[in-house]
Amino acid sequence: MASGTILQKAIDLVTRATEEDRNKNYEEALRLYEHAVEYFLHSIKYEAQGDRAKESIRAKCTQYLERAEKLKAYLKKSKKKPVKAGEDNSKTEDKKSDSGDSDTDSDPEKKKLQSKLEGAIIIEKPDVKWNDVAGLDGAKEALKEAVILPIRFPHLFTGKRIPWKGILLFGPPGTGKSYLAKAVATEANNSTFFSVSSSDLVSKWLGESEKLVKNLFELARQHKPSIIFIDEVDSLCSSRSDNESESARRIKTEFLVQMQGVGSDNDGILVLGATNIPWVLDSAIRRRFEKRIYIPLPDEQARAIMFKIHLGSTSHCLTEEDFKKLAAATDGYSGADISIIVRDALMQPVRQVQTATHFKRVRGPSPKDPSIIVDDLLTPCSPGDPAAIEMNWMEVEGDKLYEPPVTMKDMLKSLATTRPTVNEEDMTKLEKFKEDFGQEG
């Protein structure tokens, strides 16, 4: 948009809103006020020059928001009044219910927000054990202290000895932060695991995002003991600045209030955050995460284990020495990078089948029933093989194809085309953050 266009759009919308307000078309006025405020906030972020201009727009925003809130309250109240002659009897029922529960007015909205968050609760536990996570002993111990031990031995955590309430996992992308969180969900059998991202909590509707944050913590208190896992927490709780929108500022404030637990009981609730860029976190949010654990790139031993894990039960002819060579050749690679190498290597036999011009008959387990050994399977071979039959893969019956095993050559071919995704600059920043605020995982 050209300079000033967003602000002009906001002014046009608020002019229409005030006209509708004067004409007592309150629903349309409310919609236009909320729309106008969104444009004003965008104007503060992208167009307004200087603190005075921004402050002036913020003051107008506050004024229009207050009017919007009044209209919202009025419309909510007026909807409760019966509109048909035959509904007069319901007045007394409404009065009874109003007197019986002072929070009835807010209940429908709360139910709507909480139902939106219900999808973030993992009902079926992920099947990831501690042993499935290679290395990261420090992180595992801290998570056991915060989650497993308080559930199993609550008498250990009395008086001044209290479990951690906030743990931040930080490190380069693809090192297993989210995978570790899944292991926590698996091991903490009695805990409710809330896995949320910024998209679950950020709403386009004004004022709804901070309500979602508040309701998330209320749900966690209802389902105690509970773990709230927030992936990419930096997208919600970055450092405060003059350029950020009012909405982002209010989300951060609500997070601070809820994590501090002022006026509410946060016992039995662990907030587990994960980020690749911890240095952008707001300092007050950083302080709420009492434990800050660095999840580094895997060492050589862990990398060798990862190659084995990702190969799984797929047929291969790699030796222990081959796994050691692959681990040595992948210094600086993350767990996710190694996963991509193996996935590409697993496709090499498939590509071999596609490009083969000759096949030969071999003996092996039947694709339909591996317990039965058959001798009429076909596998790709070179044209010079004595048993070679000239044919392509389209001529091979589906249940007669014998896939070639993954070889060291396949692995090296995939390694040659896969580069590490973590750069030195980010690693330096992460190491610096670890020295200043964190601990080794």
pLDDT surpassing 60 at residue 230: yes
Query: Does residue 334 share a domain with residue 416?
Result: yes
Query: Does residue 415 share a domain with residue 278?
Result: no
pLDDT, tens only, 79-135: 654 443 344 444 444 444 444 444 434 456 566 656 656 655 554 566 788 878 877
What whole-number distance in Å separates Cα of residue 374 and Cα of residue 260?
Answer: 66
pLDDT surpassing 80 at residue 239: no
Query: Does residue 282 share a domain with residue 150?
Result: yes
Residue 104 lies in a domain: no
* pLDDT score at 137: 80
Query: Does residue 327 share a domain with residue 244?
Result: no
Query: Does residue 134 share a domain with residue 249?
Result: yes
pLDDT surpassing 70 at residue 261: no
Query: Does residue 131 share a domain with residue 260?
Result: yes
Residue 79 lies in a domain: no
Q: How many domains does the chain have?
A: 3
Query: Does residue 306 share a domain with residue 355?
Result: yes
pLDDT, tens only, 152-162: 888 888 888 88
Average pLDDT rounded to a whole number, residues 324-340: 94
What CATH number is attached to the domain comprising 221? 3.40.50.300
What CATH number is attached to the domain comprising 361? 1.10.8.60
Residue 430 lies in a domain: no
Verify cis geometry, omega within 30 degrees of 0, for the bond prior to 225.
yes
Residue 375: CB atoms within 10 A of its CB come to 8
338 or 265, which is more confident? 338
Query: Does residue 180 share a domain with residue 253?
Result: yes
Residue 95 lies in a domain: no
Beta bridge partner(s), residue 104: none
End-to-end CA distance of the chain: 46
Average pLDDT rounded to a whole number, residues 63-81: 78
Query: Does residue 386 share a domain with residue 244?
Result: no
Residue 112 lies in a domain: no
Residue 399 lies in a domain: yes
Average pLDDT rounded to a whole number, residues 17-37: 86
Residue 87 lies in a domain: no
What CATH number is attached to the domain comprising 64? 1.20.58.80
* pLDDT score at 86: 40
pLDDT, tens only, 266-287: 777 888 999 999 998 888 888 8
Query: Does residue 228 share a domain with residue 168?
Result: yes
Q: Are 192 and 212 in contact (CB under 8 A)?
A: no
In terms of residue numbers, what domain contains 63?
6-73
Query: Does residue 258 share a domain with residue 407?
Result: no
pLDDT, tens only, 174-186: 888 888 888 887 8
Confidence of residue 203 (pLDDT cuts 50, 70, 90): low
What whole-number distance in Å separates Cα of residue 157 and Cα of residue 149?
Answer: 9
Three-state SS letters, 399-412 = HHECCCCECHHHHH
258's tokens = 């809820």
Confidence of residue 420 (pLDDT cuts 50, 70, 90): very high
Which of 294, 326, 358 is a domain's end point?
294
410 or 264, which is more confident? 410
pLDDT, tens only, 342-377: 999 999 999 999 999 999 999 988 888 888 888 889
Please name the residue that has the structure tokens 């317990």. 371
What values do phi and psi take at 119, rounded to 5? -65, -20
pLDDT surpassing 50 at residue 400: yes
* pLDDT score at 98: 45
Query: Does residue 289 share a domain with residue 376?
Result: no
* pLDDT score at 388: 92
* pLDDT score at 423: 86
Say if residue 144 is exposed, middle or buried (CB neighbours under 10 Å; 0-12, 13-18, 19+). middle
Confidence of residue 11 (pLDDT cuts 50, 70, 90): confident
Which of 242, 261, 294 is a domain's end point?
294
Beta bridge partner(s), residue 439: 293
Residue 368 lies in a domain: yes
The percent of residues in the chain predicted with pLDDT above 90, rounded, is: 22
Which of 73, 89, 110 is a domain's end point?
73
pLDDT surpassing 50 at residue 215: yes
